[in-house]
Amino acid sequence: MRAPASRRKVLFVEDESALRRTYDRFFAERYEVAFAGSGSEARRQLEEFDPEVLILDLRLPDTDGVTLLQEIRASRPALPVIVTTSYVSMEPLINVLDLGHSGYLVKPFDLEDLAARIDALG
């Protein structure tokens, strides 16, 4: 069986290795996936992998997710970004609401919900 000619390229920026493995198992057949566990790795993957959709965790070991999102918005304003966060408080999300992200999910969330959001982006 042949894979579809063009699968959407999705970059997951997530510092929790267990969650990266879960994303890989769940999404690998649906999308072309790449992973970054830190802000610096995310910057490299943005250049090398050139994703069509970015899934961005706000809490990263080497940078603040909001700062990274601001950088991404400056260099790639059209890239759809879905923000994921463990924050129950909405306060950190207020900072990113005007940065053109394509939605957010509070952890834990349903992977089918994330897939539906990715698919809805075009």
**DSSP three-state, residue 25:** helix
Domains and CATH numbers, the chain: 9-120 (3.40.50.2300)
**DSSP three-state, residue 81:** strand
Q: DSSP secondary-structure letter at 20?
A: H
Q: DSSP secondary-structure letter at 7?
A: P
**pLDDT at 91 (0 to 100):** 64
**pLDDT at 65 (0 to 100):** 84
Q: How do residues 17-42 score in pLDDT, each as one tens digit?
A: 999 999 999 999 999 999 999 999 99
Q: How do residues 40-92 score in pLDDT, each as one tens digit?
A: 999 999 999 999 999 999 889 999 888 899 899 999 999 999 999 887 676 66
